[in-house]
Chains A and B, each alone.
Chain A
């Protein structure tokens, strides 16, 4: 049995860089080819400040530190592995991806709540770009064996 982490404990911090190349790759992998994520002209015509990252790319990348934490937990005696059972976010701000610089996204994963009975650990993600929060109420629930 894995020891449950303390509420408030920091699990991981990570800074990632999203460039237009990452946006193209996410478009190909997900099938979301909306041009606001690729073409500056289209993005500006839509009233956006520039090409923006897919919200789902930010959401997908932001949970990766938790995926890594979960992968490092020990399975149960009967082989049951730790698992992410729920993950939700609000898309509160756009991540503008500069053609040259891209965008830096900072992810901090912290234990928000621990249920000793169900062994469900809630991990709260703080996700910022240009020093502003881009995902609201970003919470991951992990079943810990």
Chain B
């Protein structure tokens, strides 16, 4: 099944709240080889945790026609309006903002707006996924 063209423009419900704990920032900072893993500011790529939770909703939906094993991460971008710090509680709302054919594959852009507990937008995480077609049977 090809990727469902009706996905374009679709917005997914907000993720469950994700608490930015000292332990999770420390583990993430250590994992990306930060010089100071005890900093209170989360690493620049930390919002991927929220983006991943939002993408999981997209990828788990059988109506999308996306086969997970054929998904390749093509591009990633983060834009932030403030630093994410320990104590934040974040949610992500994903929208499929672009889809285009790339040979037999589909390039899908998923943009996740990350908000804090007050509902203020703190970041936008944008993933471009390259989704291959299933082989003909």
Binding site for B on A (CB under 8 A): 16, 22, 25-26, 28-32, 46, 55-57, 59-61, 63-64, 66-68, 71, 81, 83-91, 140
Report the minimal beta-carbon distance from A132 to chain B, rounded to whole angstroms: 17
Is B9 interfacial (CB-CB < 8 Å)? no
Interface residues of B in 80-101 (CB under 8 A from A): 80, 82-83
B33 A29 Cβ-Cβ under 8 A = no
CB distance from A9 to the nearest CB of B (A): 20
Residue contact B76 to A88, C-beta cutoff 8 Å: yes
Chain B, interface SS category: mixed
Q: Does B79 contact A (CB under 8 A)?
A: yes
| A86 and B75 contacting across the interface, CB-CB below 8 Å | no
The docked-state distance in angstroms from the alpha carbon of A29 to that of B45 is 12
Do residues A56 and B80 form an inter-chain contact, with CB atoms below 8 A? no
B45–A60 CB distance below 8 A: yes
Residue-by-residue, is B58-88 near A (CB-CB < 8 Å gives 1, otherwise 0)?
Answer: 0000000000010011111111101100000
Report chain B residues within 8 Å CB of A88.
75-78, 126
Q: CB-CB contacts of B4-31 with A at 8 A, as 1s and 0s? A: 0000000000000000000010011011
Does A32 lie within 8 Å of B30, measured CB to CB? no
Chain B residues lying within 8 Å of A91, measured Cβ to Cβ, are 72-76
In the bound assembly, the distance between CA atoms of A61 and B75 in angstroms comes to 16
Are B30 and A56 closer than 8 Å at their CB atoms?
no
Is the beta-carbon distance between B52 and A68 smaller than 8 angstroms? no
- Compute how far the CA of A81 lies from the CA of B41 in the bound complex, rounded to whole angstroms: 11
